Structure 1
Amino acid sequence: MRCRRMCQDVVFMFLCVILLTESSEQTADSMTTTDPKQYIRQSQDLCSGEQQYVQDRKHVVLEAFNRLGINCTLECVPHVALLASGGGQRAAVSLLGSVSQMAAEDLLDTVLYLGGVSGSTWSMASLYSDPMWSRDTMATVAGMQGSGVELAEVVSWLEKRAKEEHFSLTDIWAVITAAGIMKQMDVRCLSEEASRNATNPYPVYSAIEKYCFSQGLTNGSWFEWTPHEAGFTELGLFVETSHLGSNFQAGELMQRKPEMDMVKLQGILGSAVADEAVLKGLLPPWMTALGNDDDSIARDYMRVYHIVDKLVALMRNRMQDPVILTNLDDLQEALQAKVNYNESELLKSMSPEEKKELFQNRTVELIRILEVWCQGLPDGPFKMYVSWLIKHVIPLIVKWEWGTVGNYLYQHPDPAVPSCLHSKERINLMDAGLLVNVGYPPFLGDKRDIDLIIAPEYSAGDIFETLTLARDYAHKVNKPFPEIDDKILDEKDWPKDCYVFQGEQNQPTIIYMPLFNRKNCKDAEEVKARMEEFSTFQKGFNQGEMEFLMETAGTNMKNNKDTILTELKRAVQRRQDKTNS
């Protein structure tokens, strides 16, 4: 009996080992082939990587509060986000002034998150190229004021992108912003920051998806990027940042593709010119008088001019040879003369078909001016680079495709995925400032549970528009947002330098700080003049202009330090109340 029982025990143990082995093999197989959760995370909570970073960052924040004399414990460290608006190079430069002054006032280390859209993301990308940037913000400033990137490096980067499957105008815009404005070709990838320590605030970049945006689908529009994950904010569907751009189907990774670098990312995040409405605003006065039907024809013409003009400016900033500089000046003059030549009287007598043909001919003439100019250049590397650009860029302008990225939600089984995302193998990401020109959406609600938002405002146009648009967005997605008294809209032409919108219960408090205001402009006319002087779409600022913007933004921070400290103390109390409840 004893022997039989021992034999039964041995057989039972053997069977268990076999079953466990088969089970582990099946689990391993499922993890490597079929389980969509391995690649796509569905949740409105933080991923584990961001949770860990934030927890580590709180120790840095706690030390900063102690240095400022604000009583706080680790459990009561408030969630503070610095959200910079868009605004082209004006925003990129002004953000550097804001963070530099915050560092000087010992306020920067109180910030848990740094979020940006459009132009502010350009300087964010440059800042984070240095793992210790919050300890020396002026290194990025020095880079923007330096000699910049050689044209050979620009063309070399573009040549590599041109060999990829989806080479688009985003790649061209990327080098215009990275090399032309930030003067840095940062070829690292965002996911590389996932392993960093918590010296700096956690970065959150924002974009929007073109087709969901055009169809008014709020849930599928806003797209956020962090070092750990990227995905649609309101859908709560995220993929590891290193996997974004790879080929997916029904939640499965079909083909791994290289992650885009920071140059390409900057091109996507600041691509407002990709939108037809923005392009319309760049038309010369005589074209804007044509009417909606006719100026749509003119926009095709202006597409070519605007991109070529930016590329000429980029080349000019890279050159020192006086002969080449003269050649570039001649080209710009020829292009501007062609576009600014008023043909409105001629167009009045034309049919729609004749107008269309006229502008098609004018587009061909613009391209021909460029080709003839290139042929007249002396043989050498510069002519070779220009020839390559003409050959590859002009077809992209005609196609007018931007921000094409592999769609990780292609045929994803979740019914909440909009059809325009579910049915397309590629998505088109572009400038989030076209929807809301401050990156509020990722910071609303329970996910990041923000107590205080510091919002330096660098936008053009209606100065309070970002607030009202964010309020309306929050209402649509049922997220908390503080009350905005419409009476302040009367101050939009000549705003104060600081407003505080107190959050109640789970609403964040917002400290809102317009760049040009009553403290630095004597009246509304001066505010308007400053915005025109530092307009969003213009050639690069010189050193004096950059220093003026950084000083203006920095002074705003300095003047309102007491307000910020007051709201930081309140944020600690709010966090303590949340913890106790």
Structure 2
Amino acid sequence: MRDYILPPVFLPLSSGNIEGVIHKEVNSYRDVFVKIVEGKNLQEGDLFSKGDFFVSLWLPTASLKTYRTRTIPNSSNPIWNESFHFQIHNQVKNILELSVYDEDKFNNDCVARLLLDVDKIPPGTTISDSISLIPEGSEVLLFELRAEERPDLLGEITTNGVLVTRPFSCIEISVLENENKTYLNDDERLSLKLSGAYEEMHKWNTPHNKEEHFHFHATADMELELEVNLTKVAGKSKTDSRNKQENEEDEEENEELIGTTTVPIHLLKENQDKTVRVAFGKERSVDLKLRAKECSEDLDIRLGFDISEHEKHFLKKRKKIVSETIRDALSLTNNLEENEVPVVAVVGSGGGMRAMTSLYGSLSGLQKLKLLDCVTYIVGVSGSTWCMSNLYENPKWSQENLQTAIHRAQDQVCHSKMGFFSAERLNYYSREIKKRTARGQTVSFSDIWGLIIEYLIHGKENTAKLSDQQKGVEEGQNAYPIYTAVNVKEDVHFQELAEWCEFTPHEVGFPKYGAFIRAEDFGSEFFMGRLMKSNPESRICYLQGLWSSIFSVSLADVWQLATGSSSAPGWLKNMFDNNDEFTDLSKITSSKFVTSLTSPEGLFSHFLEEALISRPAVGENYNFLKGFHMHRDYRQHGGFIAWMGTDEEDNPNYLTPAEKKLHLVDAGFSINTGFPPLFRPERQVDVILSFNYTWGSQFKALKQTEEYCAARNIPFPKVNLHGIDNSNLKECYLFVDEENPQSPIVLHFPLVNDTFRTYKAPGIKRNSVKEKTNGSIDVQSRGSPYRTAYVSYSVDDFSQLVNLNCYNVMNQKEIIMQAINMALHRKRQSKPQAIS
């Protein structure tokens, strides 16, 4: 009986089903009793004395309070014999963390941490166990676990099989008029803190006997404690109170704690008032009236693993357009039936301005082949999203000649970037950031980076929002756009536990958790699935700061040239080496970058410079999964797509719903191409046109995608590179899994200049010197004008890159038609046969 023990985390001593139908359940609770008995042969804390050991217990699905044993001083065999009690919900995944610490005056050293799945303890049984704290060592911890059912307690949950939202309560707290009427002086303030609640803390500094009311929203069936603190602002006189709001931040740093106490909240009976007196010494007290009310509002988050109803309506309309286009392209005599229509997707990789320009060319090639209306989805990463977001500002972009959009993009790409660090522009950045702060929106470097992108690709303020793009798909007239980012842990490598986040015109969400919010609500504050504070929808440039933050390292290079500041740190350089995107500063020439910039001054300047030369990639955003818990069987749910065999995802205490903020970053830090959103089985993608615009290896992202799929049991063809000459790549490679029709057919287009050198159009050779010169496009060497750090092209360079990518698509018409025909054949083969 050791299946309740998760793989332990050792620390140095001193250092199924995918329906996803949302449903409600009424379930009971259990009592879990934990007894920490003793430790044996625990390692000494230092060379001169034995350790002073204690054990902490943390079960965040039952209580946000961390419990601990007393400290046994100077003993390698401490005996505690201390018991603890937790109340847990039967349908929530409950992982108890036992951490052994060696107490120190300055810092408590964690010796080891044990993860115990208490859900697996059979009710009515007691388990006594001893666990080795060091692999193959003699250091052990002895403890007892016991579980008892509580059929008398029932609680309703809402779940999609992965996430769980529990009973939701509003705690009303009134600070009452006190008998002595002078309990709060002008220089004192009262703070009410409820850890785990949405509001977390309220502060009150109104003197004398004015009654005040506060609200906390929290999980109703968890152990909660209200912490009440009375503080005094050091050195404050009565006359200062008139300016208190102006000096609030300074006052917080100078507060002196007078007294503190806690009030249990979980013992409140619903809809019944309870008055408690909180004393601070013999003569100081505060009367609080408490009331708990159940909140039963519907969820503002869509729980489920299916695509949205909006996307389903789009697909019905788009299939008609795709059907007619394929019928004409393949010269079919009959229309396709609805279940025969292949789903074709375009995937664009990252690569800054190079990726944006190249995607224009690739889409233009499909349009000239009259195949653009075959495409159902367009997915982008990093620089590809710049092209996509530009195109979808026009609701009819694919129905018009793309040359108009390309000429407009050329004007922006080729205009001077001299001004993006000008004093005027820096003042604009500063004003915009202040506006976001005033509205209560999160602010991080990615927001500044988004404003810089806005200037790079528009040259002025762009008012477009993601939800505006709904107009571009409401009649199925364009392919459905999907933008990407990944959520990461700050202390975990970007390719580990990178959770893909989708942005569509209708929704933003995590397919892994089956949780989505309206696109208009991204940036607003949620708790337990409820919209608590609605913030204005951000302009799309702020999203671009998330979608393409991998490119921001190039901005650090520009900053270095302009200001003389030190370059990005080594770990960041290594990261960009891994992504084929980092620029060798020794190869930068002044003709490619701004050489005359205004150095900003003041606090904003310091923040900007620090951001540019430290960690510019990660942006913080409100976590709309905050307050959810994980279902006890989430790992067995078919919709929870995760790495096979990863211990980190066995511990829900550290998964995204437990985080206060999202840490979203360019998906290129994980896989520098946008495949993952297309693997959702509800999208049923048959053919993927993969356009690689990254620098360096032209198959790295594709191989990473193959590994991503293999680790998650997702059908994907083998990417066999045997026999491929990397020094002489062709324009397109076909990858098919003949034995598995569920696997998509992949056409991969490397960024190469192959037959374009000698052909200006398919079948038409270059003759004149000028034509041959136009075919000599450098997309490989370090002297190329298309290196990732280059934010501006000449008109000729822009046109040639567009033409190259357009040609590479048009020259592969036969293989594209072959792939579509193959997908059509698969569709017809898989159709259920009529019964005669």
Is TM more than 0.5 here?
yes
* Distance of 1:482 and 1:500 partners within structure 2: 10
Letter in 1 for 2:627: Q
Offset, 1:389 = 6.7
SS in 2 for 1:539: coil
Matched residue, 1:512: 748
- Is this contact kept in 2: 1:212–1:420, CA < 8 A? no
Give the alignment partner of residue 461 of structure 1, picking from 689, 693, 696: 696
SS in 2 for 1:82: strand
- Between 38-47 and 196-205, report the one with greater CA deviation: 38-47
Offset, 1:217 = 7.6
Give the alignment partner of residue 498 of structure 1, picking from 732, 735, 738: 732
* Distance of 2:786 and 2:825 partners within structure 1: 40
Give the alignment partner of residue 506 of structure 2, picking from 199, 203, 228: 228
Write out per-residue CA displacement over residues 421-468 of structure 1, whole angstroms, 9 at most, x where no aligned residue: 233322121111111111110111412111000112111121110111
Offset, 1:188 = 2.1
Matched residue, 1:549: 801
Matched residue, 2:791: 539
* Distance of 1:129 and 1:294 partners within structure 2: 34
Q: Which has the higher strand share?
A: 2
* Distance of 1:393 and 1:289 partners within structure 2: 14
* Distance of 1:528 and 1:133 partners within structure 2: 31
1:479 aligns with 2:720: no
- Is this contact kept in 1: 2:346–2:377, CA < 8 A? yes
- Is this contact kept in 1: 2:455–2:461, CA < 8 A? yes
Write out aligned runs for 1:274-423 (5 A): 329-331=595-597, 370=599, 390=605, 393-394=608-609, 396-397=611-612, 400=615, 402-415=618-631, 419-423=654-658
Task: Decide whether aligned partners of structure 1 residues 53 and 294 sit closer, same or farther in structure 2, where only a CA change above 3 A counts.
Answer: closer
Write out per-residue CA displacement over residues 239-265 of structure 1, whole angstroms, 9 at most, x where no aligned residue: 222121111122222111122221111
- Is this contact kept in 1: 2:319–2:338, CA < 8 A? yes
Offset, 1:235 = 2.5
Offset, 1:543 = 1.4
SS in 1 for 2:664: strand
1:134 aligns with 2:393: no
* Distance of 2:457 and 2:324 partners within structure 1: 35
* Distance of 2:549 and 2:676 partners within structure 1: 19
* Distance of 2:610 and 2:591 partners within structure 1: 20
Q: Which consecutive residues of structure 2, in runs of 5 or more, have no partner in the other structure?
A: 1-168, 171-293, 575-582, 635-651, 759-776
* Distance of 2:504 and 2:395 partners within structure 1: 15
- Is this contact kept in 2: 1:212–1:220, CA < 8 A? no
Give the alignment partner of residue 90 of structure 1, picking from 339, 354, 357: 354
Task: Decide whether aligned partners of structure 1 residues 228 and 330 sit closer, same or farther in structure 2, where only a CA change above 3 A counts.
Answer: closer
SS in 2 for 1:163: helix
Give the alignment partner of residue 526 of structure 2, picking from 248, 253, 270: 248
Matched residue, 2:113: none
Matched residue, 1:377: none
Task: Decide whether aligned partners of structure 1 residues 393 and 519 sit closer, same or farther in structure 2, where only a CA change above 3 A counts.
Answer: same
Task: Decide whether aligned partners of structure 1 residues 530 and 550 sit closer, same or farther in structure 2, where only a CA change above 3 A counts.
Answer: farther
Write out aligned runs for 1:516-531 (5 A): 516-520=752-756, 528-529=780-781
- Is this contact kept in 1: 2:385–2:547, CA < 8 A? yes
Matched residue, 1:45: 306
- Between 410-419 and 449-458, report the one with greater CA deviation: 410-419
Letter in 2 for 1:56: K
- Between 38-47 and 264-273, report the one with greater CA deviation: 38-47
* Distance of 1:293 and 1:392 partners within structure 2: 20
- Is this contact kept in 2: 1:210–1:429, CA < 8 A? yes
1:74 aligns with 2:338: yes
Larger radius of gyration: 2
- Is this contact kept in 2: 1:219–1:235, CA < 8 A? no
Offset, 1:419 = 1.7
* Distance of 1:295 and 1:457 partners within structure 2: 22
Matched residue, 1:124: 388
1:440 aligns with 2:680: no
Letter in 1 for 2:662: I
Letter in 1 for 2:480: Y
Letter in 2 for 1:47: S
Matched residue, 2:42: none
* Distance of 1:61 and 1:241 partners within structure 2: 26
- Is this contact kept in 2: 1:450–1:508, CA < 8 A? yes
1:163 aligns with 2:435: yes
Task: Decide whether aligned partners of structure 1 residues 290 and 48 sit closer, same or farther in structure 2, where only a CA change above 3 A counts.
Answer: closer
Give the alignment partner of residue 194 of structure 1, picking from 464, 467, 470: 470
Offset, 1:213 = 8.8
Write out per-residue CA displacement over residues 22-52 of structure 1, whole angstroms, 9 at most, x where no aligned residue: xxxxxxx99xx95686322232211111111
Offset, 1:210 = 3.0
Tell me the TM-score normalized by structure 2: 0.51
* Distance of 2:460 and 2:389 partners within structure 1: 10
- Between 146-155 and 510-519, report the one with greater CA deviation: 146-155
* Distance of 1:236 and 1:83 partners within structure 2: 23
* Distance of 1:63 and 1:294 partners within structure 2: 49
Task: Decide whether aligned partners of structure 1 residues 197 and 213 sit closer, same or farther in structure 2, where only a CA change above 3 A counts.
Answer: farther
Task: Decide whether aligned partners of structure 1 residues 456 and 396 sit closer, same or farther in structure 2, where only a CA change above 3 A counts.
Answer: closer
Write out per-residue CA displacement over residues 531-555 of structure 1, whole angstroms, 9 at most, x where no aligned residue: 8431111231121111011000000
- Is this contact kept in 2: 1:126–1:184, CA < 8 A? no
* Distance of 1:106 and 1:555 partners within structure 2: 14
SS in 1 for 2:742: coil
Offset, 1:486 = 3.7
* Distance of 1:529 and 1:209 partners within structure 2: 33
- Is this contact kept in 1: 2:449–2:552, CA < 8 A? no
Give the alignment partner of residue 663 of structure 2, picking from 415, 420, 428: 428
* Distance of 1:48 and 1:82 partners within structure 2: 22
1:105 aligns with 2:369: yes
SS in 1 for 2:502: strand
Task: Decide whether aligned partners of structure 1 residues 288 and 559 sit closer, same or farther in structure 2, where only a CA change above 3 A counts.
Answer: farther
Number of aligned residue pairs: 474
Matched residue, 2:539: 261
CA RMSD of aligned residues (A): 4.1
Give the alignment partner of residue 457 of structure 2, picking from 171, 181, 199: 181
Letter in 2 for 1:141: I
Offset, 1:526 = 6.2
Task: Decide whether aligned partners of structure 1 residues 37 and 564 sit closer, same or farther in structure 2, where only a CA change above 3 A counts.
Answer: farther
- Is this contact kept in 1: 2:553–2:568, CA < 8 A? no
Matched residue, 1:351: none
* Distance of 2:323 and 2:427 partners within structure 1: 46
Task: Decide whether aligned partners of structure 1 residues 275 and 544 sit closer, same or farther in structure 2, where only a CA change above 3 A counts.
Answer: closer
* Distance of 1:538 and 1:421 partners within structure 2: 35
